[in-house]
Structure 1
């Protein structure tokens, strides 16, 4: 069989631990037999990030700007324990955060739904897509641990030398303080990405913050979204038959739980991080969640929404058989390949990506699945637990 030829390479960002092993297996079992795979490879494994002073992460993001489409494996964001385990020179920042800041995009995360695995929230009949702002907030915050009494202040020195100053707290003892920021430009890009994506998929868009408490920070998000929608998107939404509305995040949570799904829920950075995990778990599994970073300039970066599956990796190193779900990582590859085919006018590449997704879903619906899904299974066929590699080979047989 002749392989599908690619015109433009994907930016390939390799990762860490168990997902790094799955990454190679997906290429060998499901992609390379059918595609003459062209990628520009960047090793974002933690050891190589240490060796390059994290320059490799910046280079991968810049390559995404050059080629337009990237696919990324899950990576470690080191904590103190990881610094010791990997003998790191410092606690390197999240590669995802670095890439998102450079691309200035919005992360859209949606569950992969299969018949036989029903959401915990029984009335959710359609996927809920989380649109997560990909810049600022706690991920770019400056923090200080305070060792005793004193006054913490928020100070802004303008370019002309004038100052704005507010007292944060008069500390009577030990404490902690954190300074967050965001940019009108980034919030504007976030709004445009959300409105454009809603029009592309023809789904209602919800946006939520806590502007009643955060009367400057969160209220700025609300105002920018409102002004852009009224000026540029209101008529387009009406023509498409979809709606946009804003509400407080606590009200949004209540509405989401009561809804039937089938909409986009836009959240600030941290809110989106937490809510996407909640939504994916309620739909079945963190390993059944797609994730794509979309920038207003038209750059796309596809990745799994979960981490590096550390405990499975340690068991794998001990020689044990592990049943790690590769679905989200497979869908990262298929999303990137489909977009590459769309941009390069290669319908056969896009068609292959869609067929691979269908084969993966059909494999689960036939009863063959990894261990994380067995306890959730309510399908007609008996559940057959397999390893991640066995699952991929079952998909290949379906394909």
Structure 2
């Protein structure tokens, strides 16, 4: 059959380790045989990021701003061990953090629900969407190792040269120090993105932080959300029959465990990072979650929310079989292609993305899945496929869908 044409390129950000292997398999078997793929390619593999002084990451984010749609593979955020393993010039910051800082906006992560994979929490009947703030906090931090006795202060120097000081700690011995920041403008964009998304999806919105302990930092998030909601959204929420409410992060965790789902849970940057992994795992697998960064300018970056599957990669390098779940990577591609089709008014591309998702879920519901799902499925006689075997099974079903 003739390939589906794209009017505009999307940004393609390649990644690391086992997810890089999967990335190429997905392109070879599920995308390029059916779509005349147009992309601006950026290699965000750790070696190339080190080679370019991480400029490639900045360039990929700027290209996303320009083209409006990106799809990203999982990437390594190096620690000390990775610096030694790869011989890096320095311990580069999280590429996701760099991209999110440039694009701002909010990351929306939703579990991929499929028949035969039941949530660990029995009362969860509907997906729970995590809305994660995409700027600042620990991802834009400054850190310092304290060698010994001394005083640490938080100092702000205003434009006129005046200083404001706050004592952090009187160190009597060695320790560590960390500084974080955020911006009212970014918090406001976060609030509006969450409130708009709640209206579009007609779901209640929760926001949680720890303002009882962080009486300035976290409290500012609480205040901005409240101000934006009261000034711009209260009447619209009432008309839609949905609710916004604020609670402490520990109370939110307790409520989530007893809820049925079907709502959006807005979290600060690090909270959202942790809670999205908890939710995806509880709904079935870390590889069963969609993730999209939505910028205030209207750019969209789709990614797999899990890591690079290091353990499977080392087995792959030894020639040993692997059974790595590729669903999140497939859905990153389908999400990006669908959005590209919507923005360019190319319905064939939208239809293809929908067919790719149906084929993926249909393959699992037919009892053909990777080992992580085969271990927990309620389907009888499930077949555990290897990494490429699952992608080929999806391709087989996709061809039937398109025919």
Looking at structure 1, the residues matched to 208 and 83 of structure 2 have their Cα atoms a distance apart, in angstroms, of 36
Residue 296 in structure 1 maps to residue 280 in structure 2: no
Shift of 1:92: 0.8
**What residue is the counterpart of 1:329 in the other structure?**
329
Local SS of the residue matching 1:260? coil
**What residue is the counterpart of 1:24 in the other structure?**
24
Q: Equivalences for 1:304-383 in 2 at 5 Å?
A: 304-379=304-379, 381-383=380-382
Query: Residue by residue, what CA displacement relative to the aligned partner does 1:291-320 show, whole Å, maximum 9, x if unpaired?
Result: 000011100000001011111011001001
Shift of 1:242: 1.4
Residue 149 in structure 1 maps to residue 149 in structure 2: yes
Looking at structure 1, the residues matched to 32 and 177 of structure 2 have their Cα atoms a distance apart, in angstroms, of 50
Structure 1 gap segments, 5+ residues each: none
Local SS of the residue matching 2:287? helix
Looking at structure 2, the residues matched to 239 and 37 of structure 1 have their Cα atoms a distance apart, in angstroms, of 42
Looking at structure 1, the residues matched to 349 and 238 of structure 2 have their Cα atoms a distance apart, in angstroms, of 34
**What residue is the counterpart of 1:398 in the other structure?**
397
Local SS of the residue matching 2:154? strand
Residue 124 in structure 1 maps to residue 115 in structure 2: no
Looking at structure 1, the residues matched to 260 and 355 of structure 2 have their Cα atoms a distance apart, in angstroms, of 27
**What residue is the counterpart of 1:82 in the other structure?**
82
Looking at structure 2, the residues matched to 235 and 282 of structure 1 have their Cα atoms a distance apart, in angstroms, of 35
Shift of 1:114: 0.8
Shift of 1:335: 0.4
**What residue is the counterpart of 2:383 in the other structure?**
384
Looking at structure 2, the residues matched to 344 and 226 of structure 1 have their Cα atoms a distance apart, in angstroms, of 36
Local SS of the residue matching 1:212? coil
Superposition RMSD on alpha carbons, in Å? Answer: 0.8
Q: Equivalences for 1:179-328 in 2 at 5 Å?
A: 179-328=179-328
Residue 110 in structure 1 maps to residue 95 in structure 2: no
Shift of 1:201: 1.4
Looking at structure 2, the residues matched to 175 and 20 of structure 1 have their Cα atoms a distance apart, in angstroms, of 38
Shift of 1:162: 1.3
Shift of 1:84: 1.0
Shift of 1:157: 1.1
Looking at structure 1, the residues matched to 153 and 191 of structure 2 have their Cα atoms a distance apart, in angstroms, of 31
Looking at structure 2, the residues matched to 263 and 9 of structure 1 have their Cα atoms a distance apart, in angstroms, of 33
Residue 136 in structure 1 maps to residue 136 in structure 2: yes
Q: TM-score, normalised by structure 1?
A: 0.99
Q: Equivalences for 1:160-179 in 2 at 5 Å?
A: 160-179=160-179
Local SS of the residue matching 2:303? strand
Query: Residue by residue, what CA displacement relative to the aligned partner does 1:249-269 show, whole Å, maximum 9, x if unpaired?
Result: 111011100000011100001
Local SS of the residue matching 2:297? coil
**What residue is the counterpart of 1:65 in the other structure?**
65
Query: Residue by residue, what CA displacement relative to the aligned partner does 1:343-366 show, whole Å, maximum 9, x if unpaired?
Result: 111111111101110110111111
Looking at structure 2, the residues matched to 166 and 59 of structure 1 have their Cα atoms a distance apart, in angstroms, of 37
Looking at structure 2, the residues matched to 184 and 6 of structure 1 have their Cα atoms a distance apart, in angstroms, of 38
Local SS of the residue matching 1:286? coil
Shift of 1:169: 1.1
Shift of 1:4: 0.7
Structure 2 gap segments, 5+ residues each: 399-403
Q: TM-score, normalised by structure 2?
A: 0.98
Shift of 1:75: 0.6
Shift of 1:384: 0.5
Structure 1 runs (4+) deviating above 6 angstroms are none
Q: Number of paired residues?
A: 398
Looking at structure 2, the residues matched to 143 and 46 of structure 1 have their Cα atoms a distance apart, in angstroms, of 22
